[in-house]
Amino acid sequence: MANIQEKITKLFPDATFEEGEILLVNIPDAKWHDLAKCLKEDADLHFDYLVTIVGMDWKDKFGCVYYLRSTTDNVQISVKVTTEDRENPMLHSVSDVWNIATVYEREVYDFFGIIFINNPDMRRLFLSIDWKGYPLRKDYDMSPENNPVPRENERQEDVTYTYVENENGKVEKKTITLFEPNDFVVNIGPQHPATHGVLRFRTAVDGETIKKIDFYSGYIHRGIEKLCEGLTYPQTLHFMDRMDYFSGHHYHHALCMVYEKALGIEISRRAQVIRVLMDELARIASHCLFLGTYCMDLGATTMLFYTLRVREQILDIMERTCGARMTFNYGCIGGVMQDLHPDFVKDVKALLAVLPANIKEYNKLFIGNVIAKGRLENVGSLSREDAISYGVTGPSGRASGWACDVRKTHPYSIYGELDFEEVVYTEGDSMSRTKLRIAEMEQSARIIEQLIDNIPEGEYCVKVPKVIKLPAGHWFQMVEGCRGVFGVYIESDGGTSPARLKLAPPCLPLANVVDHLTRGSKIADLITIGGSLDYIVPDIDR
Amino acid sequence: MYDLSVITNWIHELLLSVMPGWLATTVECVAIGVALLLVYALLALFYIYFERKVCAAFQCRLGPNRVGPMGLLQSFADMFKMLIKEVIRLKHIDRFLFALAPYLVIIASMLSFAVLPWGNGLQILDFNIGIFFLIAVSSIGVLGILLAGWSSNNKFTLIGALRSGAQMVSYELSIGLSVLTMVAFAGTMSVTGIVEEQKDLWFIFSGHIPAIIAFVIYLIAGTAETNRGPFDLPEAESELTAGYHTEYSGIHFGFFYLAEYLNLFIVSGVATLLFFGGWMPLHIPGWDGFNAVMDFIPSVVWFIGKAIALSFVIIWFKWTFPRLRIDQLLNLEWKYLLPINLFNLVLMVLVIVYGLHF
**Distance, CA of A402 to CA of A404 (rounded, Å):** 6
Q: What is the pLDDT of residues B110-119, one digit of tens each?
A: 888 888 887 7
**Distance, CA of A163 to CA of A175 (rounded, Å):** 9
**Distance, CA of A536 to CA of A363 (rounded, Å):** 24
**Distance, CA of B220 to CA of B175 (rounded, Å):** 9
| Cβ(B307)–Cβ(B50) below 8 Å | no
**Start and end residues for every CATH 3.30.460.80 domain found in chain A:** 2-152
Q: What is the pLDDT of residues B259-286, one digit of tens each?
A: 888 888 888 988 888 888 878 787 777 7
A1 pLDDT band, cuts 50/70/90, is low
pLDDT at A304: 87
pLDDT at B234: 67
Out of A296, A371, A525, name the one closest to residue B324 (CB). Answer: A371
**Rounded average pLDDT over A63-70:** 88
Q: Which residues of B touch A306 (CB under 8 A)?
A: 60
Q: Does A267 have pLDDT greater than 60? A: yes
Choose among B36, B48, B31, B162: nearest CA to B107.
B36
Q: Where are the alpha helices (DSSP H) in A329-466?
A: 344-362, 370-376, 384-389, 394-399, 406-409, 430-452
pLDDT at A119: 86
Residue type at B73 in one-letter notation: L
**Rounded average pLDDT over A77-85:** 85
What are the two backbone dihedrals, phi and then psi, of residue A186, each rounded to the nearest 5 degrees? -100, 135
pLDDT at A4: 78
Q: What is the pLDDT of residues A133-163, one digit of tens each?
A: 888 888 888 888 888 888 888 788 888 888 8
What is the bridge-based pairing of β-strands A171-177 and A473-480?
unpaired
**Distance, CA of B173 to CA of A13 (rounded, Å):** 75
In a domain, B279, yes or no: yes
Strand, coil or helix: A134: coil
**Rounded average pLDDT over A85-92:** 84
**Rounded average pLDDT over B123-150:** 83
Disruptive mutation site among B239, B318, B335 for chain A (greatest number of A CBs within 10 Å):
B239
| Cβ(B185)–Cβ(B204) below 8 Å | no
**Rounded average pLDDT over A283-294:** 90
For residue A239, what is the DSSP state? G
Peptide bond into A356 cis (omega under 30): no
Q: What is the largest CA-CA distance in chain A?
A: 73
**Distance, CA of A404 to CA of A382 (rounded, Å):** 15
Inform me whether the C-beta atom of residue B26 falls under 8 Å from chain A C-beta atoms: no
Choose among A212, A359, A429, A339: nearest CA to A201.
A212
Lowest mean pLDDT among A235-239, B48-52, B353-357: B353-357
Residue type at A75 in one-letter notation: V
| Cβ(A504)–Cβ(A213) below 8 Å | no
For B355, what's the count of Cα atoms within 13 Å in the CB-facing half-sphere?
Answer: 0
Q: Does A38 have pLDDT greater than 70? A: yes
> Domain total for chain B?
1
CATH code, A2-152: 3.30.460.80
Choose among A168, A324, A337, A327: nearest CA to A251.
A327
What are the two backbone dihedrals, phi and then psi, of residue A453, each rounded to the nearest 5 degrees? -90, -15
**Rounded average pLDDT over A371-378:** 86
In a domain, B309, yes or no: yes
Inform me whether the C-beta atom of residue B45 falls under 8 Å from chain A C-beta atoms: no
Q: Which residues of B touch A192 (CB under 8 A)?
A: 241
Q: What is the pLDDT of residues B171-225, one digit of tens each?
A: 888 888 898 888 888 888 888 888 888 877 888 878 788 888 889 999 888 888 8
Q: Which helix (H) or strand (E) holds B135?
A: helix B130-138
Q: Do B320 and A300 touch (CB under 8 A)?
A: yes
For residue A522, what is the DSSP state? B
| Cβ(A300)–Cβ(A366) below 8 Å | yes
Q: Does A214 have pLDDT greater than 80? A: yes
Q: What is the pLDDT of residues B219-247, one digit of tens each?
A: 888 888 888 878 877 666 666 777 777 88
In a domain, B326, yes or no: yes
Q: Does B1 have pLDDT greater than 60? A: no
Residue type at A366 in one-letter notation: F
For residue A51, what is the DSSP state? E
A2 pLDDT band, cuts 50/70/90, is low
| Cβ(A240)–Cβ(A486) below 8 Å | no
Q: Which helix (H) or strand (E) holds A164?
A: strand A159-165
Inform me whether the C-beta atom of residue B317 falls under 8 Å from chain A C-beta atoms: no
| Cβ(B251)–Cβ(B83) below 8 Å | yes
Provide CB contacts within 8 A for B329, sequence distance 6+.
Answer: B167, B170, B224, B231, B233
> Could you tell me the end-to-end alpha-carbon distance of chain B, in angstroms, rounded to an integer?
23
Output the CA–CA distances (angstroms, integers) from residue B281 to B114, B186, B190, B198, in the order listed.
Answer: 21, 18, 19, 9
pLDDT at B200: 77
For residue A150, what is the DSSP state? P
In a domain, B14, yes or no: no
**Rounded average pLDDT over B345-355:** 87
- pTM for this entry: 0.85
**Distance, CA of B40 to CA of A302 (rounded, Å):** 29
| Average pLDDT of the residues of chain B | 83
Chain A residue with the nearest C-alpha to that of B331: A374
**Start and end residues for every CATH 1.10.645.10 domain found in chain A:** 224-541
Q: What is the pLDDT of residues A380-429, one digit of tens each?
A: 888 888 888 898 988 988 998 888 888 888 888 888 888 888 888 888 88
Choose among A472, A535, A464: nearest CA to A499.
A472
Out of B59, B155, B239, name the one closest to residue A527 (CB). Answer: B239
B76 pLDDT band, cuts 50/70/90, is confident
Strand, coil or helix: B307: helix
- A224-541 adopts what CATH topology? Cytochrome-c3 Hydrogenase; chain B (1.10.645)
Out of B238, B320, B324, name the one closest to residue A527 (CB). Answer: B238
Query: ipTM, 2 decimals?
Result: 0.79
Strand, coil or helix: A184: strand
**Distance, CA of A134 to CA of B239 (rounded, Å):** 36
Q: Does A195 have pLDDT greater than 80? A: no
Q: What is the pLDDT of residues B12-56, one digit of tens each?
A: 788 888 888 788 888 888 888 888 888 888 888 888 888 888 888
Q: Does A76 have pLDDT greater than 70? A: yes
Residues of A in CB contact (< 8 Å) with B are: 184, 186-187, 192-194, 205, 207-208, 295-302, 304-306, 309, 366, 369, 371-372, 374-375, 522-527
Helix/strand/coil (H/E/C) assignment for every residue in A194-235 = CCCCCCEEEEEEECCEEEEEEEECCCCCCCHHHHHCCCCHHH
**Distance, CA of B31 to CA of A269 (rounded, Å):** 82
**Distance, CA of A12 to CA of A134 (rounded, Å):** 33
In a domain, B64, yes or no: no
For CA atoms B218, B221, B224, B229, the dihedral sign is: positive
What is the bridge-based pairing of β-strands A485-492 and A500-504?
antiparallel
Q: Do B322 and A300 touch (CB under 8 A)?
A: yes
Choose among A36, A54, A55: nearest CA to A45.
A36
In a domain, B67, yes or no: no
- Residue length, chain A? 542
Choose among A122, A78, A97: nearest CA to A37.
A97
Q: Do B323 and A296 touch (CB under 8 A)?
A: no
pLDDT at B29: 84
**Distance, CA of A10 to CA of A2 (rounded, Å):** 12
* Structural domain span for residue B103: 86-353
- CB under 8 Å, gap of 24 or more: what pairs does A43-50 form? A44/A3, A44/A7, A45/A4, A45/A7, A45/A70, A46/A70, A46/A71, A46/A72, A47/A75, A47/A77, A48/A98, A48/A388, A48/A389, A49/A98, A49/A388, A49/A391, A49/A404, A50/A94, A50/A98, A50/A100, A50/A101, A50/A104, A50/A391
